[in-house]
């Protein structure tokens, strides 16, 4: 049994107790507490009926790899490796991330002033070679994660239909989207704290 980590952001950012960054984070206690509560709700849930732990951690590995967040990718890989079939799914998620590597963001705004920022870019589809390594649900989840990371402006009802067709429930889709959004937040906070630590 692993020892619970009191604050995952502190852990991944390498923040020591009583350090300057620790004191800085302590100035926003509610933000700090809610970030950890969000992690717990998404990765230590009371129920995994709609999204399994393996699916949660596999998506986390994929998203962390897409963001180039090495520490987060290692952390979530270690978590994934502890669940059933986790080691194989770690390899799948990392291979998919290597296929999907991109820069972005891409997408199109509704007609108007922001249309000047429209940018075309590839939509990721898991290769047929990799699809045999995971369930249709997880394949669809990774493609959706790529959409939210690189093509958020292009998210539409058709994207949600693809998840439903792959076997995702409405509750599962909400949880999946929350998880991807939380990871983007977590990774950016960690990156910002590391910049401060190096200053």
DSSP state, 107?
A: B
Instruction: Return the DSSP state at 115.
Output: G
pLDDT at 51: 98
DSSP state of 50: S
Kindly list the structural domains of the chain, giving each domain's residue range(s) and its CATH number in brackets, ordered by start: 8-107+124-198 (1.20.1290)
Q: What is the pTM of this model?
A: 0.91
Looking at residue 1, its pLDDT comes to: 42
pLDDT tens for the chain, 199 residues: list them: 456 788 999 999 999 998 988 998 999 999 999 999 999 999 999 999 999 999 999 999 999 999 999 999 999 999 999 999 999 999 999 999 999 988 767 767 777 777 777 777 778 899 999 999 999 999 999 999 999 998 877 788 899 999 999 999 999 999 999 999 999 999 999 999 989 888 7
Q: Which of 99, 102, 147 is nearest to 127 (CA)?
A: 99
Query: Which of 146, 159, 154 lies closest to 98 in space, CA to CA?
Result: 146
- At residue 2, the pLDDT reads 56
By the 8 A CB rule, do 38 and 182 touch? yes
128, two tokens: 């047929």
């Amino acid at each position: 049994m692993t020892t619970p980590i009191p604050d995952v952001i502190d852990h991944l950012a390498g923040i020591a107790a009583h350090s300057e960054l620790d004191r800085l984070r302590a100035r926003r206690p509610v933000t700090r507490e809610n970030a950890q509560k969000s992690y717990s709700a998404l990765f230590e849930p009371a129920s995994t009926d709609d999204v399994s732990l393996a699916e949660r951690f596999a998506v986390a590995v994929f998203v962390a790899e897409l963001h180039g967040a090495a520490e987060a990718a290692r952390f979530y890989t270690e978590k994934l490796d502890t669940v059933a079939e986790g080691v194989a799914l770690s390899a799948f998620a990392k291979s998919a991330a290597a296929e999907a590597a991109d820069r972005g963001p891409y997408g199109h705004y509704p007609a108007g002033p922001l249309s000047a920022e429209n940018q075309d870019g590839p939509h990721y589809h898991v290769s047929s070679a990799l699809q045999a390594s995971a369930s249709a649900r997880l394949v669809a989840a990774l493609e959706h994660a790529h959409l939210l990371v690189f093509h958020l402006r292009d998210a539409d009802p058709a994207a949600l239909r693809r998840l439903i067709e792959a076997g995702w429930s409405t509750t599962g889709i909400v949880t999946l989207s929350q998880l991807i959004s939380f990871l983007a937040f977590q990774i950016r906070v960690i990156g910002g704290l590391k910049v401060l630590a190096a200053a």
